[in-house]
Chains A and B, each alone.
Chain A
């Protein structure tokens, strides 16, 4: 209840939601909003500028760009969501182990350091080259790239919180290690984590687009924001709308996600909430 109340008062969160909600609805209900199939070729209609019939115009094979962008967001969002979710699960697991147990830290941190030393794109190219081009492999590449970041964030806050007095107090009331970790420490990691999650989600959309642009991402003819842009780059002078519309969608989605992330951070952390409703004390 509290969270909903605080959420409705948070401007950033509301703006982010207003931006993203229509996008999500369009994405989920793509068949309702689109007239044309995203993959049907119609050579007569190729490279048509935006019109009442084709809101975003058509591409080199005469496919309706609006349909392609909307269906493309399905793939982009699905890949980003799956990658972010697995990244967070793994990151929290390994990060809290590393922060809490010194021995685990030794192994986990070294592995993360090693992974962070690779440029992300190289890891992506490596995975794609080794395992082939598919949605699952894009997700796998993103997990390998992004998990070390989450691990670091979680580990740092676990180490910080572990040294606090209330952890001693929790030990004194007989709480077990696992209980201390999950009940007392992990809630403190939420605010840095949420920022990383929204940032990671936005980043995953960009990476998917980037990989598709390089021809390593979602295999054609399935549309994704990245491979639509990639297809359009030859026609940037004659038919710029092919690149502009998916590019705008990426910008809008990433902006909305970042706003929601900032808003969530303020909502979830009681210390950042306004203190106007401070409970009056009776004893001084």
Chain B
């Protein structure tokens, strides 16, 4: 995106025209289709979208851990001048867990059940800071466990994952992600989805706090717009493998432009008119299967404003409608004024 050049600031992570394909028996599935995205230093970018829109594959592409039979077919990913896609696997192993870390959705499944959490946290130091002695490692692990808000880390360091609660496990995962102390980008793949609401808030606070303290960027993958409103700086809305709208949080919520984003916001339950008998708004239809090759706009089949002669044919370009606000839609000026004012009321 050009807006970064204008400010003359080099982005931390720059993804250009990324395309990740899964070669399956039924044909090619394009999970990530020409994504362009920049993450600035010290920024929280939320990637929002329905299940199956390619968010997680995008995150995995950044770390080059796309599971078989997926592969990155073209594009480029630059992290602070490092060419991720053309780096040797050994270089990648040094980057993973050190410069880029990732926190997964399900903390139970992401921790090895037969190793103590202390062992698992210090493993990263063994891998990335081989000069530390085991005592120094233990000290750092205890400090980190304290930082992520685990009370009496001395008692927990020898615990096995099943002996901890979900929130604690997620804190362990965060401790693992940040233990090296040089993390520049933290990718959080739906980090709060499996936690209950109070813990969600605590974990989000923790992210925010650590982000400021460690001066890193966070790429937060979520389908929860509440989470986005809570901590994101910028928002990228993903649909069927492409980014359809990108802007800062306020613009996304107040000057929503893409019909899909409008649909997402409208389908949030309202809190102030519980008396309303109106059924909850839903976006009709389903996310199209990524294996279908769709001519024109991918949202066509579900869009309330779709017009055959305009929207089918070429895929709409990703245009900057106001500075820093990018949208992929042909029908921007048709999008209903009333709908927008309704939305404004609701929010």
Give me the interface of A with B, judged by CB distance under 8 Å. 164-166, 168-176, 179, 183-184, 187-188, 190, 269-271, 275, 277-279, 281-284
Contacts and interface: CB of A to CB of B under 8 A. Distances in A.
A168 B160 CA distance: 19
B4 interface: no
Contacts of A184: 112, 115
B162 to A, nearest CB: 7
A174 B198 contact: no
B273 to A, nearest CB: 31
Contact of B97 (A165, A168, A172, A284): A172
B168 A281 contact: yes
Contact of B123 (A183, A188, A275, A277): A183
Interface-central residue, B63, B93, B149, by most chain A CB under 10 Å? B93
Contact of B115 (A174, A187, A271, A281): A187
A283 B149 contact: yes
B102 interface: yes
B106 A279 contact: no
Contact of A281 (B111, B165, B173): B165
B213 interface: no
Given A279-B156, A279-B164, A168 B65 contact: yes
A164 to B, nearest CB: 7
B196 A284 contact: yes
Given A165-B110, A174-B98, A283-B167, A271 B65 contact: no
B113 interface: yes
A173 B109 contact: no
Contacts of A271: 113-114, 162
B104 A169 contact: yes
Nearest to B199: A284
Contacts of B151: 282-283
A166 B159 CA distance: 17
Interface of B: 63, 65, 67, 92-98, 101-102, 104, 106, 109-115, 123-124, 127-128, 149-151, 155-156, 159-160, 162-168, 171, 173, 176-177, 196, 198-199, 202
A108 to B, nearest CB: 20
A169 B93 contact: no
Given A165-B106, A281-B164, A284-B199, A175 B114 contact: no
A166 B110 contact: yes
B93 A175 contact: yes
28 contacts: A164-B109, A165-B104, A165-B106, A165-B109, A168-B65, A169-B176, A170-B123, A173-B96, A173-B97, A173-B123, A173-B127, A174-B93, A174-B96, A174-B124, A175-B93, A187-B115, A270-B113, A270-B160, A271-B162, A275-B162, A275-B163, A278-B162, A279-B164, A281-B167, A282-B168, A283-B151, A283-B165, A284-B165
A122 to B, nearest CB: 39
B162 A170 contact: no
A174 B114 contact: no
B127 A166 contact: no
Contacts of B198: 284
Interface-central residue, B106, B112, B156, B160, by most chain A CB under 10 Å? B112
A187 B123 CA distance: 15
A4 to B, nearest CB: 15
B156 to A, nearest CB: 7
A277 B163 CA distance: 8
B114 A279 contact: no
Q: A-B pairs with the 8 shortest C-beta distances?
A: A173-B97, A281-B165, A165-B109, A174-B96, A174-B97, A169-B110, A279-B163, A172-B102
A254 B71 CA distance: 52
B146 to A, nearest CB: 13
Contacts of B102: 169, 172
Nearest to B128: A174
A173 B202 contact: no
Contact of B114 (A165, A172, A187, A283): A187
A165 B67 CA distance: 11
